[in-house]
């Protein structure tokens, strides 16, 4: 991935990351379409709960820099940014609730932390579902193992949302998958043998986890997704879906997700998977 720094209209530096090949090569960056990649934020709905924009409008809007992230203390860390999205008159027509959605993004050498917060700034209760949709880059999805979802209940979107219980061992992939696992442990490990690394997803107040890969047929049908790109990606979402969050006026909900990389020794069996998952 290459990067460059440009100054925007306010004289603020912006870092532009570009990937000349892969899914982002065909991804649309034109508003109001979400970018197929990165980490879209799904709010106020994950999937389609009856409001017009699938996965909510937040991923289709331009956010602003948040200069007052209270009550989170201001971050003095130069590798972090606070962003905010507020309800607009246009959005109030389809989702009639005033809110402030904040996101703190913190970058460490081998860890990315996201802290989303939703505040009810209106005068009535509202409820919402939410997801942090992580498009993860993989060497070869058919060689990936996901640990931490064993024996859990899940909704299978490909089976009309029917509820099943995961059997067996770790998750492996040999076809299209679109599931939402319910009440998962706080840690999920995504093991990439070929890249000799394990991604560890740790989450708080985000009890559910979506797992999605369109595989070859659906990939061809998606206009902003390369035909072969399904091979090198896996979406794992940290989500609140089964039991929506309810906020009274002035209440705030806060979640947290950490994505970190564990050394390749995990793949050679030197590191006990139980330590990664439960340590
Ligand atoms: O195409 P999008 O609206 O961005 O959604 C991409 C995917 O997101 C989630 O993981 C859903 O569970 C899938 O059903 C959906 O296909």
Q: Which two tokens stand for residue 249?
A: 């006026």
* Domain limits, the chain: 36-268
Q: Could you tell me the pTM of the whole model?
A: 0.87
CB 134 within 8 A of CB 236: yes
Residue 135 CA to ligand 1 centre (angstroms): 11
Residue 12 CA to ligand 1 centre (angstroms): 33
Check pocket membership of 84 for ligand 1, CB cut-off 6 A.
no
CA 246 – CA 237 distance, rounded (Å)? 20
* Mutation test residue for ligand 1: of 133, 155, 158, the one with most atoms within 8 Å of CB: 133
- Return per-residue pLDDT of the chain as tens, 279 residues: 555 666 655 555 556 655 554 555 566 655 667 788 999 999 999 988 777 788 999 999 999 999 999 888 888 777 899 999 999 999 999 999 999 999 999 998 889 999 999 999 999 999 999 999 999 999 999 999 999 999 999 999 999 999 999 987 899 999 999 999 999 999 999 999 888 899 999 999 999 999 999 999 999 999 999 999 999 999 999 999 999 999 999 999 999 999 999 876 555 444 556 666 666
Which of 178, 200, 182, 204 has its CA nearest to residue 190? 200
Query: Strands 208-213 and 233-247: what pairing?
Result: antiparallel
Q: Which two tokens stand for residue 261?
A: 């990389």
- Taking the domain 36-268, which CATH number applies? 2.70.98.10
Residue labelled with tokens 């306010």: 10
**ipTM > 0.90 (yes/no):** yes
């Amino acid at each position: 991935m290459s990067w460059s720094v440009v100054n925007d209209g306010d004289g603020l530096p912006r870092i532009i990351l570009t990937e000349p090949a892969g899914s982002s090569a065909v991804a649309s960056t034109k508003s109001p379409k979400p970018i197929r990649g990165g980490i879209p934020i799904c709010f106020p709905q994950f999937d389609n709960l009856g409001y017009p924009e699938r996965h909510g409008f937040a991923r289709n809007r331009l956010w602003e820099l948040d200069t007052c992230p209270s009550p989170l203390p201001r971050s003095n860390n130069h590798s972090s940014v606070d962003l905010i999205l507020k309800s607009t008159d246009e959005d109030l027509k389809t989702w009639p609730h005033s809110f402030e959605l904040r996101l703190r993004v913190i970058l460490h050498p081998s860890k990315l932390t996201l802290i989303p917060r939703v505040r009810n700034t209106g005068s009535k209760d509202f409820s919402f579902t939410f997801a942090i949709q992580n498009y993860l880059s993989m060497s070869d999805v058919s060689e990936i193992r996901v640990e931490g979802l064993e024996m859990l209940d899940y909704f299978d979107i490909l089976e009309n949302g029917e509820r099943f219980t995961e059997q067996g061992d770790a998750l492996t992939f040999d076809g299209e998958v679109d599931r939402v696992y319910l009440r998962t442990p706080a840690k999920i490990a995504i093991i990439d043998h070929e890249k000799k690394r394990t991604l560890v997803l740790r989450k708080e107040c985000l009890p559910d986890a979506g797992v999605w890969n369109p595989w070859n047929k659906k990939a061809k049908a998606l206009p902003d997704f390369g035909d072969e790109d399904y091979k090198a990606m896996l979406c794992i979402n940290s989500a609140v879906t089964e039991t929506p969050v309810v906020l009274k006026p002035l209440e705030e909900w806060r979640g947290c997700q950490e994505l970190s990389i564990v050394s390749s020794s995990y793949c050679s069996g030197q590191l006990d998977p139980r330590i990664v998952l439960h340590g």
